[in-house]
Amino acid sequence: MANEPATGLRVLVVEDQRDIAENVWDYLERRGYEVDHAHDGVTATRLLELTSFDLIVLDLGLPRLDGIEVCRQLRKRGGSTPVLMLTARDTLEDKLLGFEVGADDYLTKPFALEELEARLRNLIRRTRRREMTGLVIGDLRLDQAAQQFERGRQRGQLTPLQVRLLAALMRASPNVLRHAELVTAVWGTEGGDSTALHGLVHSLRQLIDRPFKHAMLLSVHGIGYRLLQPADQGDA
C-alpha cells in the first residue's frame, strides 16, 4: 500500500531551513498529509502542547530550543507521538542521544523525500500495531494511547508518569529494573529521583495491586522493582 495517499494524517514539521521545510511540506501535502510547520523549538513545543499530531518530523539543530530538548520535553509530558529526527551530521553520538530522549527513527540530510515518507509510514504502522495490541502481562493490560489499564474486571485511568513506569516494568518483565533505570525511563535524564520513584510506585500499586489478592509490582530490596504475573510467583 506504499502509494496510497495518507489521508488526514497530521504531521508537524519542525525545521528552520526554509527550503527544506517547504520541500517537505509540499511533498507531504501532495501525498495527503495535513502539515503544520514550526521553524524553532519553542514554537514547536507550544504547538505540541496545544494540538495533537500523528507524526513529528523534528530537525536536531534548531534556534531557541534544539530538537533533542523538544523531544525530551514532549516525552516528559507523556506525549507518545512518533518522532522522526533529522540531522545534518551522521554521528553515532547524535543518534544515541536522540534515541535516549525518545526519538523513534533518524534520517540524515540530505535525504530523498520518498525515503522520508517511507520512514513516516513505517512509524505509523509500528505505532498502530503497538496501540492495537497494548502491553499484556497475565491479566494486566496497558493501553498506552488511552492511558488506561485493565486488571481482571478493574479498569482505570493512569497519569502520564504512571503509564511510563508501568510500560517500562511490563516491557522488562520478568526482569528487575534498577531504581536508576526506572527514574530514567520515567523522567528522562533530567528530573526525578528515587524518592519521586517510590511515590510513583506507591500510587501505581494503589491502582493495579491493592484490590487484588496477589501483588504484581514487587520490590527487590536495595535493587529495584519488577512486575510478575501471580503464576510466576508460585502462589497462584
Residues in contact with Ca ion by the rule CB under 5 A: 16, 59, 61
d(CA 116, CA 122): 10
Cross-strand pairs, 126? none
87 or 127: CB nearest Ca ion: 87
38 or 201: CB nearest Ca ion: 38
Minimum CB separation from Ca ion for residue 185, in Å? 29
Contact 119, 106 (CB under 8 A): no
62 or 197: CB nearest Ca ion: 62
Contact 226, 179 (CB under 8 A): no
Contact 33, 6 (CB under 8 A): yes
* Pairing of the two strands 105-108 and 55-59: unpaired
Minimum CB separation from Ca ion for residue 38, in Å? 12
16 or 209: CB nearest Ca ion: 16
Minimum CB separation from Ca ion for residue 94, in Å? 12
Minimum CB separation from Ca ion for residue 223, in Å? 42
Contact 16, 109 (CB under 8 A): no
| Chain residue at closest Cβ approach to Ca ion | 61
